[in-house]
Chains A and B, each alone.
Chain A
Amino acid sequence: MPRMNRRRFVGSLMAGAGAAATLPMFSRSAFAQDAARLRLYWWGNPSRDERTFTVIDLFEEANPGVQIDGETVSWGDYWTKLATQTAGRNMPDIVQMDYRYLDEYVSRGALHSLEEFRGGALDLSTYEEGPLAGGMVDGELYAINIGSNTQVALFNARIFDEVGIAFDPYGYTLEDLKRIATEITEATGGSTYGTDDNTLAYEAFETFARQSQAPLFAADGSIGTNEEVVGEFWEFWRSMREAGVVPPAEQSASLIGSGMNELGLITQNTAMSYLWSNQIVGAQSLSSDVLGAAMYPQKAGGVPGQYVKPSMFLAMSANTEHPEIAAKFISDWVNDPAMTAVLGLERGIPPVPEVREALSPEFTEAERLSVGYFSEAQKHVGELPPPPPPAAGEVTDAFVRIGTEVLLDRQSISDAAAEFVGQANAIRRRAG
């Protein structure tokens, strides 16, 4: 054996490492010949990731010879990575899908129709009709809704009790909100404002526009709202600012894009914040006070504006080599008692009644609030709007951008409303 000098030492180290690295590779590829390997891709958070990996383990145990590789990233990177993988014909077999992108992926032929598996590998016998509709594109089933969701106005129940606020959480109007917010601001001596300022809250505007029967996007994807409705919305929140019952404008402006822990409701800067119903459990865990749930305020003389949104779907890649296994996985995800028990309410309200019932004895306070609110709100919501058209996200961004000018009094409301409608139309035209 030649004398070991430094170079030789490093060389042999690397050779050893190389051999060690190739060994398991070979053994795995030998094994892969009889195992079916699928990839599952989702966006989420640590709690969701843990639940999902557990579900994968359960499925693998029940189906020997199947291996599911989980891949997860945050929402911000999710669509970039999925689009790139799809372009490279490397789309994961099963993907978590959002209502906004479903049409786009179907129209580009990236998703596998699920019709052929119905009644076979995909058991939908106890699955509710309403949630099912969200996954249909042109009358054909492409995605399975794995949890529903609706807008929610969360309020600080302790403060509401102490101040003695009485209101109907499912029927109060914007004028009621103004009265409530004034009472709270006065009773707390201004240390807690009545509510968050919704000037920049796109969901609040979307609800208001639907209540005014001028939804932002019409059924054909064109801009269905007008300057008057946009102006009326911003006027209301300006009157709230002038009354001093929402936080100062600059404070609200700086909260854009910040996390849930900075919400007015959580920091107790305000007594009311606006979220989605699958965030109730998360918000409660951050709040030291007990929270209550209400719908968004109604518009006097308006129609219902909120809706039940399919919050997430599972869909199948058109290029998957194992469509039957993928279909079975999706089916078990919504039906299997062990798997649904692990998933809980984390992704939204489960669409199978038996699953909801089986879960209920284990509910925490916050989960009970979430389910109770959801089932009551369901009676007061409007129809599911069509999926947002291409570039809808850009229109949302323009709303926030121009809304900031209104919020900070840098532009008159009538000018800003006209500019927003103009830009929204231009963005839609450019997207084609």
Chain B
Amino acid sequence: MNKFIRRNLPGYTFLFPWLIGFFALALGPILASLYLSFTRYDILTPPQWAGLENYEYMFTWDDRFWQSMKVTFTFVFLSVPAKLIFALGIAMALDKGIRGIGLYRAVYYLPSILGASIAVAILWRQVFEANGVINSILAIFGIAGPHWMGNPDYSLYTIVTLAVWQFGAPMLIFLAGLRAIPNDLYEAAEIDAASKTRKFFAITLPLLGPVIFFNLVLQTIDAFKIFTNAFVISGGNGAPADSLLFFTIYLYEEAFKYFRMGYASALAWVLLIVIALFTAIAFFSSRYWVYYENERD
């Protein structure tokens, strides 16, 4: 016991500020929301116990709940792979040891820092407007671009591109992962006259496994929680025609627009379970596709 404390004390000391925040500020509201998810609560009057009513309504009656699920899942399945592929591509290009790499890294990381900001979302809205940058470029080639934001068939893709554009965080992690691959493996492959593609699939990709896995889990969780961009671009309500009704936007509407805190809490718990489920699937499946160099036998 004494040894345990001595060994872990520094760690817990560093964690301490976060732990205070978690226990004092986060845990209470989290548990309260679990209770509230079984009630009807409009803030002004005390919550009334409603049993499973919220969950029952959600799964049997609520079309908008299913619409929000559809939008969110489409977004996750499109944006996460695209973003990871993009991030890996850029990371590999930057790994070549070009001059001024620090600058490139900063430049490519910039969108991720700006990503959650309102300003970028507004900018994005303008880029994709009827007379925006995209359509002006298309016009040069004689293509009349659609109204990206006003058309429910296209609006989601504008948000997917915005998410992909914010590839900085996974890129940096990939970059670190690439640096950690021992050079002798490539040299050996060189001697055997392996092609570039072969080297990528036989060395780079397998050895990056743990890093890909890490990025995949983090980005999936992030993608499920997308809010700010979508909120600004959709005008706060998932417009046009609910094509941007992400789960979190629906939750926000229910809670802070219609004051159904009980129902919104239930939605939050469903989101938590969905995210937990996907993380669990990723962890479980990782046994079969993630390769750790140091546990070879």
Using a CB–CB cutoff of 8 Å, the interface residues on chain A facing chain B are 76, 79-80, 83-84, 86-87, 104-105, 108, 110, 248-258, 391, 393-394, 397, 400-401, 404-405, 408, 410
Task: Indicate if the CB atoms of B152 and A254 lie closer than 8 Å.
Answer: no
Report if A86-B240 is in contact (Cβ < 8 Å); known contacts: A251-B147, A257-B235: no
C-alpha spacing A257/B256, complex, angstroms: 17
C-alpha spacing A258/B237, complex, angstroms: 12
> Which of B130, B239, B242 is most buried by chain A, counting CB atoms within 10 A of its CB?
B239
B45 within 8 A of A: yes
Using a CB–CB cutoff of 8 Å, the interface residues on chain B facing chain A are 42-45, 129-130, 146-147, 149-152, 234-237, 239-242, 256-259
Q: How many A-B residue pairs have CB under 8 A?
A: 72
Shortest distance between the CB of A21 and any CB in chain B (Å): 22
Task: Indicate if the CB atoms of A250 and B151 lie closer than 8 Å.
Answer: yes
C-alpha spacing A248/B45, complex, angstroms: 46
Residue of A79, A255, A257 near B236 (CB, 8 A) is A257
Task: Indicate if the CB atoms of B239 and A400 lie closer than 8 Å.
Answer: yes
A394: nearest chain-B partner, CB-CB = B258
Residue of B43, B130, B235, B259 near A256 (CB, 8 A) is B235
Shortest distance between the CB of A122 and any CB in chain B (Å): 26
Complex contacts, A79 vs chain B, CB 8 Å: 259
B151: nearest chain-A partner, CB-CB = A250
> Which of B129, B150, B151 is most buried by chain A, counting CB atoms within 10 A of its CB?
B150
Complex contacts, B146 vs chain A, CB 8 Å: 250
Shortest distance between the CB of B227 and any CB in chain A (Å): 15
C-alpha spacing A400/B257, complex, angstroms: 16
Shortest distance between the CB of A172 and any CB in chain B (Å): 29
Shortest distance between the CB of B45 and any CB in chain A (Å): 6
A76: nearest chain-B partner, CB-CB = B236
Task: Indicate if the CB atoms of B237 and A397 lie closer than 8 Å.
Answer: yes
Task: Indicate if the CB atoms of B147 and A86 lie closer than 8 Å.
Answer: no
Residue of B43, B151, B242 near A253 (CB, 8 A) is B151
Task: Indicate if the CB atoms of B44 and A256 lie closer than 8 Å.
Answer: no
Complex contacts, B44 vs chain A, CB 8 Å: 83, 86-87, 104-105, 108, 110
C-alpha spacing A250/B256, complex, angstroms: 29
Shortest Cβ-Cβ A-B pairs, 4 listed: A257-B235, A254-B150, A250-B147, A253-B150
Shortest distance between the CB of A241 and any CB in chain B (Å): 14
C-alpha spacing A404/B239, complex, angstroms: 9
Report if A410-B43 is in contact (Cβ < 8 Å); known contacts: A394-B258, A401-B241: no
C-alpha spacing A76/B256, complex, angstroms: 9
Show 26 residue pairs from A and B whose CB-CB distance is below 8 angstroms, ordered by the A residue: A76-B236, A79-B259, A83-B42, A83-B43, A86-B44, A87-B44, A104-B44, A105-B44, A250-B150, A250-B151, A253-B150, A254-B129, A254-B130, A254-B240, A256-B235, A257-B236, A257-B237, A257-B239, A393-B257, A394-B258, A401-B239, A401-B241, A401-B242, A404-B239, A404-B240, A408-B241
A400: nearest chain-B partner, CB-CB = B239
Complex contacts, A258 vs chain B, CB 8 Å: 235
C-alpha spacing A257/B232, complex, angstroms: 10
C-alpha spacing A255/B239, complex, angstroms: 10
Task: Indicate if the CB atoms of B241 and A405 lie closer than 8 Å.
Answer: yes
Complex contacts, B242 vs chain A, CB 8 Å: 401
B258: nearest chain-A partner, CB-CB = A394
A110: nearest chain-B partner, CB-CB = B44
> Which of B42, B240, B257, B259 is most buried by chain A, counting CB atoms within 10 A of its CB?
B240
Shortest distance between the CB of A424 and any CB in chain B (Å): 14
Shortest distance between the CB of A14 and any CB in chain B (Å): 16
C-alpha spacing A249/B257, complex, angstroms: 27
C-alpha spacing A43/B47, complex, angstroms: 27
Task: Indicate if the CB atoms of B152 and A251 lie closer than 8 Å.
Answer: no
C-alpha spacing A79/B146, complex, angstroms: 37
Shortest distance between the CB of B272 and any CB in chain A (Å): 22
C-alpha spacing A104/B42, complex, angstroms: 11
Complex contacts, B236 vs chain A, CB 8 Å: 76, 257
Shortest distance between the CB of A178 and any CB in chain B (Å): 24
C-alpha spacing A105/B44, complex, angstroms: 8
A247: nearest chain-B partner, CB-CB = B130
Shortest distance between the CB of A110 and any CB in chain B (Å): 7
Shortest distance between the CB of A314 and any CB in chain B (Å): 20
Complex contacts, B241 vs chain A, CB 8 Å: 253, 401, 404-405, 408, 410
Shortest distance between the CB of A315 and any CB in chain B (Å): 14
Given contacts A80-B256, A105-B44, 9 further A-B contacts (CB under 8 A): A87-B44, A253-B151, A254-B130, A257-B237, A393-B257, A397-B237, A400-B239, A405-B241, A408-B241
B238: nearest chain-A partner, CB-CB = A401
Complex contacts, B151 vs chain A, CB 8 Å: 250, 253, 408
Complex contacts, B150 vs chain A, CB 8 Å: 249-255, 408
> Which of B42, B130, B236, B241 is most buried by chain A, counting CB atoms within 10 A of its CB?
B241
> Which of A108, A405, A408 is most buried by chain B, counting CB atoms within 10 A of its CB?
A408
Complex contacts, A80 vs chain B, CB 8 Å: 256
C-alpha spacing A239/B98, complex, angstroms: 61
> Which of B43, B234, B242 is most buried by chain A, counting CB atoms within 10 A of its CB?
B43
Report if A253-B258 is in contact (Cβ < 8 Å); known contacts: A84-B43, A108-B44: no
Complex contacts, B43 vs chain A, CB 8 Å: 83-84, 86-87
Shortest distance between the CB of A412 and any CB in chain B (Å): 15
Shortest distance between the CB of B228 and any CB in chain A (Å): 15
Complex contacts, A256 vs chain B, CB 8 Å: 235, 239-240
Task: Indicate if the CB atoms of B258 and A391 lie closer than 8 Å.
Answer: yes
